[in-house]
Structure formats: structure tokens, C-alpha cells
Homo-oligomer: A and B are copies of this chain.
């Protein structure tokens, strides 16, 4: 973690630990330099990060203020691969159905830019929060990049494993989503009926080198899973 990220995390923790309400004014830049004993440019980078992440807003010439904290029980849509990270106020779990090595379908191959004879890990699991079904996930990892996966890893955070153990740098992702009608195959996994609504999210994750390594489809329970996004015009 870079210095400015560390400082950003500390400022964010301070806000959440003290439950600072929206519009609370934080110390100015000079004050933060004193408090965290880092350079001005580190503080500015940290503040810009917190602004992008929806934690604070800055008014030129006036100060730094706390933004509305996220509502409990809402998933941060931009960090939803961090299921466990994001729902750290709620206990999450995964029920894993399979972890298999397979030949990818045409759709998976296209999304992951697979070569002809390439194999992928195929993982099917149910995501649960406080015992409630949040979503049904099918994900595909390129074996040439994520060389090993097993059930135990899939029961916890695959992304923590990919980052911390495989040392893969996760760079960016493309997400596509829409509301859908559940079909007969998926509905039972969510305890719903065919025809019921769901949110279908497909996402491709790339390494920092721009190589796609994971394609996931999650179908979210329409009543249990709700999301928030904090955006900033900058």
C-alpha cells in the first residue's frame, strides 16, 4: 500500500469510528499534515482518493467535509468483488457447488480473450449474507493466470487469494448489468420463482497490465440485494 493510500485509510477509519455525521468539517490540510506527519502532496493525494471514493467532499477555500456514509446493508457496487470486504458490517459466506477446470464456452472465451486450447477454472457458488441468499455466481478464471484454485479458497475470498497469494495486480474492470426475469434453471438457487425479477451483473476483471483474468456473472436476489454508488463529478 502506498503512503497516501495508508493515510486515506486512516482518515476514513477515523470518520467511521467516530461516526462523524454528514457535513462535519475535518481539519484543514495544515492540520492533517501535522496529524499524520506526512508531506502536503501525500495529504492532497489521500484527500482526492477519499473524494473519489465518496467519503468526503472538498469546497475550494472553505474546507473538507464528511459525506453521507453508506447505508447499512447496501453493497458498494463499485467494489462488489470485495463481497467480504464490503459487507464487513454483516457476516457473509459462500456456498460452493463446484470448482472445475473446463474448456470455456464461446462467450467466456470472447470475454477473457482466451486462446484456442486454453482452460479456465469454473466456479459456481451462492453468496450469502446473514444467512440470506444475495446472489448466484458463476465465475471463470484463466488457468494460465490463476494457476490454482480449490473449494476452500472459493469458500472464502478468491480475490484476496488472487492478490495476496498469486500476487496478481488487479487493475480495472468492465461491468455490464440489467434487470432480468429469472429462468427455471437459476430461480431455485435464489429460492424464487421463474419470472421473478433479478439483477444480472457481468464483469470482466483485468490485471494492471490490461490482461483479462476473470469473467463473472452474478444474479442477485431482487429483494435481498441492494446497491449504492457514490459518484463525484471530477
Contact = CB atoms under 8 A, between A and B. Distances in A.
Nearest to A2: B234
A175 B232 CA distance: 11
Interface stretch (A138-146, A150-158, A176-184): A176-184
Interface string A43-63: 000000100101001011010
Contacts of A59: 208-210
A233 B178 contact: no
Contacts of A60: 208
A181 B210 contact: no
B206 A172 contact: no
A171 interface: yes
Given A181-B197, A197-B222, A206 B57 contact: yes
Nearest to A60: B208
Contacts of A178: 199, 222-223, 225-227
Contacts of A170: 233
Contacts of A78: 229, 231
A144 to B, nearest CB: 17
A39 B170 CA distance: 30
Contacts of A124: none
A232 to B, nearest CB: 5
Contacts of A185: none
Contacts of A173: 230-231
A22 B172 CA distance: 14
